[in-house]
Structures are given as C-alpha cells and as structure tokens.
Structure 1
C-alpha cells in the first residue's frame, strides 16, 4: 500500500465514526463520537512512538521530537463536526497532518537531515461551535484570545459545561502546551472558486471580518386559544421578523459583498398552546469590508428597534464574537506558491469567508493556510464532498510545506534542506 493509499484508507475509516445515513458525520465537540476520533488520533500517534498531550481546553497534540528543546511547527485542524455535518471539514486537515508528519519523519530518517524545529500535529477542540459557542474555541484559548476558565464554563443547550463534557469523555487535560514556531493548516475550500477555476490549491491571503449579534426577544407568555390577537405580545412573531431582517440586509449592498444568517434559535416555553415569551437567536454578518458590516449592523439595530415598538416588546441586542480581518504573512503565501510550483500544481491566492483555527494561530505565529477544492462549494452538510485525488494533492503540498517549515522556513533560521 502506498502512503497515499494509506492516507485515503485512514480518512475513510475515520469518516465511519459518527457516520450518518446520507454520508455525512455527526461528531459534535466532546460527544462519544468525538471521543472515538480522539482515541483514533492518539492511537495513530502512539503507534509511531510520538508523545500525546492534551491541554486544559481539550486540544490534542501529537509531538514528534526532532530537535530536543526546540519549538514546534504545528500542523492540523479539528475532528469535531457540525450536527449532520460533512466528513471532510476539519478532519481532512488533521488526518493529512498526521500522514504528512509520518512522511517527513521517514524522509528525515532516510536523508539524515538536520531540521531546525520539532513537529506536532494538532486536533483543536470545538472549532465548529455547534454544541458550545463560540466556535474556534480551543485554538483561541491556545492563542490567548479567549480565557480558558470562561470557556470551560460555557454550557450547551442541555446545561452541560465544556469542563463537564471534556471530563466525561476523558479529555480534560493538564499537559503543557507546546511552544509554537509556525503553523500550517489545510482545509477544504467550502466554496466554488477552486472548482470553477480547476485549480487544486488555494493559499489563503486574508479572512473576512465577522460580527455576530446575540439577540434576545422578550414578549409575554399567554394562552394561544384564549388570548385575543390584539392582546398578544408574541416573541416568536417578532423574532421571525428579525430573522427576515438579517437575511434581507444583504440586499442593501452589492451582490456577495455581505453574507448573513441566523443559525441558532431557542424558544421559550416552546409549548404548542402557549404564546412565546422569549426567543434567543444569534445573527452572523460577514464581509471583506468592516465598514459594510458596521453599516449593516447599524441598519439592523434601527429596524429591530422599530419591530420592538411595533409589537410592544423588548429586544436586547449585544455584540458577540467579533473577529477582525486577519492577513496571512506574505512570506507564507510565497512559500505555498513555491511548494505548488515544485509539485507542478496550480495555485491561486484566495480569501476565507469562513473562520478557521488558522485565523487564531495567525495572531501568534507565522501561519500558512491551504485550500483544496470542494465539489459544488457545499459544506456544513452531509452532501459536502472532495475528490480523493484532490485530497492526495493537498497532502503532497502539506508534506512539502511541513518539510520546509521544520527546516526553518518563515523564520530567520533557514537551513539548506528547506530550499
């Protein structure tokens, strides 16, 4: 079996964990299915003699010591998924990272090269944020962007905290976090640009600005049959208008300049014979322009205030999970382009509208993020799909990128083998 075949076998084996009938996966953070993928990750590393560490927010690291005492080049992504999510999002980057690390260690053993840095593969905790909000949690704690204790106290809709959930699956760790020299992540694009242009690789040059709004609609609970329509203060009716506002605010700007959504909504008391008293929802605004997001936010606040007055109810809106544009280093983009050229693979620079762990790591270390094509641009659903040949091409690129990084690329410690 070739190394590419071994990678594909592992990828498709892992896709069977938490598999859904429509070829997706459901492995939300710190669930029994997430534990199974974590156990698989640990077993892969331990079989190769790599040290496995788990930190205080559940991030997993497979440490490959090449230069005792040196910092680590991190490669990886996340193994958790959205509810009824796709089998490629996140998991591809982790499994590709493990196999790239295996290839690099085998090449070093054969060549007798002298790297500058150690190598580590990482599985970040709760990147998706489907069970515990906010998303990109583990990598943000690692990067010092979120407080660990505050994130451990976050609860899911059933009232289970992150701390309790991680402890329940045996992955609430206490291990020391590795010192990071640089970071590389490969991911499916979750868009259609690479597919349309028939390119196997994209190098992310910057991330979109993200602004979320935590919206609480407070009405009055009453009987659905006995309360006159004129006497109702229905939180759900008002909230439904807010949802439409969030959707329609994109029409105030040029096409594709702004995307918006409401992805989570909870209803109280959620009884078939009670007018809703409270609705909680989270709105998401994203654009390449912070000014457009700011303008959309201001427009929404004014329109939401008008709805509150129309229905004689209270609507509280708070800013939540704001993420500025992150520009990836030019040196990293050029390195990715050099790797692609050496492999004979086409590549283009590309923006990421979605958030990724690399956005957090880019704040503290030189970071390179690669994309591979997504069929039809579909993601966060069971129909998500990327071809085997595109995954293998991405693995080849990640391997060469990792080889150059452990030899000092993106630092002032470059040595001959990285060239």
Structure 2
C-alpha cells in the first residue's frame, strides 16, 4: 500500500516532513541539469550537463560540512570524517545518464545518500555519537557507459576490476579520451579514493516486479548472469543499386539477421533470458553503398546459468548459419561475462529488518541491470535496495517513481546507513585494494 509523503515523513525515526520536502526540492533542482523536453535528462559522463550537476552536488555536500574530493578516475566523494583514521562506509550511485534518459536512474541514489548523510551528521552530533566508520557519499563516474565504454567504469577502477590507464585512455566517438574530458572539467583528481569498509546503494528497480507485488522496498540478493559480446560483421562494399543481389556480401544484412537471432533466443526462453543489441555502427553508412562493416554490442542476461550456457551455444551456431547464408564473416569477442552473483546474505537480512521495523513491505529481488554495487560487493559487504518503477519504464524519458516511494527509500536507506556506519556488518579483511 502506498503512503503519502507526510505519512512517510512522520512515522520513522530518521526523517521528518521538513527533511522529506527538502529532499524532493533538491531532486527537482537536480533534475533540471540536462533536462529534456519530455521530462527526462541527457547528461552523459563529463558532458556540460554532467559537469554542472556535479558542481551543484559539490556545493550541497560542502554546505552540510562534507569535504569533496575526486579520485584519479573522476569518482566524486563527499567525505564526512567523524572517526579519524577509520575506513569509510561508501554510499551512493551515479548521476550520469543515457541520452534522452529518465531522471531517476542513478541520480536518486546519489541524492538519497547525500540526504542520509546530512540527517545522520546532525543526529550523531546531537547525540555525541562517534560511529565506527566514516561516511563517503559517492557519485561514481560513467556508470552508464553511454559516452565511454565500458559501463560502471568508475567503480570498476576503484575496485581494481579495470586498470586505471585503460579507463583514462578510453575515447568517445569523437576521439575525446576520459582523461581529456575529466581534465577539462577539473575532475581528474589524485589518489584512489577513501578506504572502504562497507557499501550501500539504493536505486529504482527499472522493472515492474515490485509494483506488481505491491512491495515498497526491494532487497537485492543477487545479480543475473550475463554474457556480453563485441561483434564485427565483415562484408564487401558495393553499389546499392547496380550490384547484382547474388554478388552482394552485405554486412548490414548479416548484422540484421544477428539482431533477429538475439530476439529469437529470448523468445525461446521466455521470462528468464533477456537479449539486446544496444549499439550498431555501420560503415560506410552511405545511402548508395552496401555496408562493408558493422560493429555491434550484443548481450545475453539470464536468471539461470545453465540456460545462459545453452543460449551461448545456440548463438554460436546461429552465427555460423548467418555466415553461410549471407556470405559475411562474423568475428565475436566475449567482452564481459559473469554468473549469478550473490550479495552478502547478512546485508539482505539487515535491510529486511529495517524495512520491517519502519513498516514497509519488502521482498528479495534479483537485479537484471548492472550497478556500481555489483562491483563493490566483491570488495566489501554491500547492501543494495530498490524502490518501484512505475510500469517498469527505464532508460526512457517516461521513467517515473512516485514521491512517496522515493521518500520511503530514503528513510530505509538512512537507517541502514546508520547501522552500517555504527558497525552492523563485520569489516572486510585487509587487502591491498584499498579496503580494511
């Protein structure tokens, strides 16, 4: 059952009506950076809109006493140091977007983290409490991967999954590198960021399972498995009118068959396999030329590792068939792959208990999408939360989450951040990767 913002704001111990209104005003302001005509945003990583909203966030963090720093890949941290020398609870998400995207994806999680820190700083000061861990509000760089590939770049560098040098050298379609873009914006910092002890992230679901179930808080327990391919289809450039059809080796035709094949794979395993071709680059992309080369990114995501393995086999077989029937050559490279990956069960149970105490319906859910917390959970204990997305719409200007769900998520996150900072989960073992 949905609750009004006023009801949400007056029943919990971590948020008031005034705090809720302040959060929603900030969300409205934040949504103006890169705003599109249909209610969404376009603020791809290190674009002018992204730079502007990062500066606005820095001002908000500093106004509440947090120190703002940037690491060598441009991750933005608002640091609240209350226990000198102690490691940090890293909490946040990302504020960059896809082109013509929704305004909730990622950005909600950063702002919720910031407001949780604001409230807790006040409460700890009033109580005289010194938490076990310091707080780091994070805005991860280039989570979406729309301008620079791969996605989740900032958290991948922070966790050691992606070499810094490779990330900085990555170029967008115009030839601008990550290093150049961050340097021009003034966000190319020093060091590796704060030492993490644990992590939390809240995000919109981007699906409709929570809405269908009437559940307010999703307790993310694992990620779907995935296989991501970089594919190049090689054909032979020819005249689009004069060349005899039988003589054509049309790379775009071969690529089109591959796009259809991906959808047919999903139809073969309904409900547990999602497939997509999200990017297509055609050369020479001329109206009177048969394409000689097409590059595309194809991914398979699955809730069952055995089904994913079968789908990968079927995809390889279909690629061979397409080569024979269309006369093209297809080179596919598996760029990223992972299995079903669990979040720490004790973190799920912590979140379940908080949601129950605050009176919100909650339930376990798997995430199909990738998030920065999926990188962080391999490094430190991590809690991931979802709030409902209306009609499951995301990466779309019509993306929408109700205000009462936004505030409910903020309330639950604030209490989880309190408990994590006060030592609710055991610290991770010391490593050389910046973790204690």
TM more than 0.5: yes
Question: Could you tell me which of 6, 24, 40 is aligned with 2:56?
Answer: 40
Does residue 63 of the first structure (1) align with residue 82 of the second (2)? no
- Distance in 2 between residues matched to 1:160 and 1:173, nearest whole Å: 18
Alpha-carbon offset, residue 153 of structure 1: 1.3
Question: Could you tell me which of 140, 160, 165 is aligned with 2:156?
Answer: 140
Alpha-carbon offset, residue 223 of structure 1: 1.4
Does residue 216 of the first structure (1) align with residue 226 of the second (2)? no
Question: Could you tell me which of 330, 350, 368 is aligned with 2:345?
Answer: 330
Deviations 1:344-380 (A, max 9, x none): 1111111101110000000000000010111001101
Does residue 370 of the first structure (1) align with residue 385 of the second (2)? yes
- Distance in 2 between residues matched to 1:147 and 1:289, nearest whole Å: 30
Does residue 267 of the first structure (1) align with residue 282 of the second (2)? yes
Question: Could you tell me which of 15, 21, 24 is aligned with 1:8?
Answer: 24
* 2:115 paired residue number: 99
**Unpaired stretches in structure 1, ≥5 consecutive residues:** 414-419
* 1:316 paired residue number: 331
Does residue 89 of the first structure (1) align with residue 96 of the second (2)? no
Distance change in 2, residues 1:120/1:211 (3 Å): same
- Distance in 1 between residues matched to 2:320 and 2:181, nearest whole Å: 38
* 2:3 paired residue number: none
Deviations 1:205-230 (A, max 9, x none): 00001111111001111111221112
- Distance in 1 between residues matched to 2:71 and 2:197, nearest whole Å: 18
- Distance in 2 between residues matched to 1:90 and 1:187, nearest whole Å: 6
CA contact (8 A) 2:205 2:388 kept: yes
Secondary structure of 1:279 counterpart: strand
Alpha-carbon offset, residue 126 of structure 1: 0.7
**Unpaired stretches in structure 2, ≥5 consecutive residues:** 1-16, 429-436
* 1:398 paired residue number: 413
Alpha-carbon offset, residue 263 of structure 1: 0.5
Question: Could you tell me which of 247, 267, 270 is aligned with 1:231?
Answer: 247
* 1:386 paired residue number: 401
Distance change in 2, residues 1:285/1:168 (3 Å): same
Secondary structure of 2:341 counterpart: coil
Deviations 1:101-152 (A, max 9, x none): 0000010011111311101100001111111111111101111111111111
* 1:200 paired residue number: 216
Does residue 74 of the first structure (1) align with residue 90 of the second (2)? yes
- Distance in 2 between residues matched to 1:230 and 1:333, nearest whole Å: 59
Alpha-carbon offset, residue 168 of structure 1: 2.2
Does residue 118 of the first structure (1) align with residue 170 of the second (2)? no
- Distance in 2 between residues matched to 1:102 and 1:130, nearest whole Å: 31
CA contact (8 A) 1:85 1:381 kept: yes
Distance change in 2, residues 1:176/1:214 (3 Å): closer
Alpha-carbon offset, residue 55 of structure 1: 0.7
Q: CA RMSD in A?
A: 1.2
* 1:297 paired residue number: 312
- Distance in 2 between residues matched to 1:128 and 1:73, nearest whole Å: 23
- Distance in 2 between residues matched to 1:184 and 1:284, nearest whole Å: 27
TM-score normalised by L of structure 2: 0.93
Does residue 350 of the first structure (1) align with residue 348 of the second (2)? no
Does residue 154 of the first structure (1) align with residue 170 of the second (2)? yes
Question: Could you tell me which of 261, 266, 281 is aligned with 2:296?
Answer: 281
- Distance in 2 between residues matched to 1:29 and 1:123, nearest whole Å: 11
CA contact (8 A) 1:53 1:175 kept: no
Most deviating of 203-212 and 147-156: 147-156
Runs in 1 of length 4+ with deviation above 3 angstroms? none
Secondary structure of 1:333 counterpart: helix
- Distance in 2 between residues matched to 1:155 and 1:220, nearest whole Å: 27
TM-score normalised by L of structure 1: 0.96
Q: How does 1:159-198 map to 2 (within 5 A)?
A: 159-198=175-214
CA contact (8 A) 2:198 2:427 kept: no
Secondary structure of 1:98 counterpart: helix
Secondary structure of 1:354 counterpart: coil
- Distance in 2 between residues matched to 1:166 and 1:321, nearest whole Å: 25
Secondary structure of 2:203 counterpart: strand
